[in-house]
């Protein structure tokens, strides 16, 4: 599974969520329930997206791992 992607400040949460989902394996991708998924802003403005399945269980997450010259570098993690 590819685990990194980039965004700029022009992209909104919906676009970011779609990029995260597109990197997931098919068996995980088909179980994502966007209505149960959420964006969390932690201390220091760290952003994390938690993707959940139909039951509300977290199945993947993504967070900004680096920022350079106007580009956000995201890492995607599959939950065990």
pLDDT exceeds cutoff 90 at 18:
yes
Q: Domain locations in the chain? A: 4-78
Q: How confident is the model at residue 80 (pLDDT cuts 50, 70, 90)?
A: low
| Tokens describing residue 7 | 């965004």
pLDDT tens-digit readout, 19-78: 999 999 999 999 999 999 999 998 878 899 999 999 999 999 999 999 999 999 999 998
């Amino acid at each position: 599974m590819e685990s990194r992607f980039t965004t700029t400040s022009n992209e909104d949460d919906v676009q970011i969520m779609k990029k995260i989902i597109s990197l997931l394996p098919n068996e995980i991708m088909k179980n994502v329930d966007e209505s149960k998924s959420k964006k969390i802003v932690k201390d220091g403005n760290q952003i994390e997206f938690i993707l959940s399945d139909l039951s509300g269980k977290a199945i993947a997450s993504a967070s900004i791992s680096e920022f350079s010259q106007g580009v956000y570098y995201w890492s995607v993690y599959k939950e065990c």
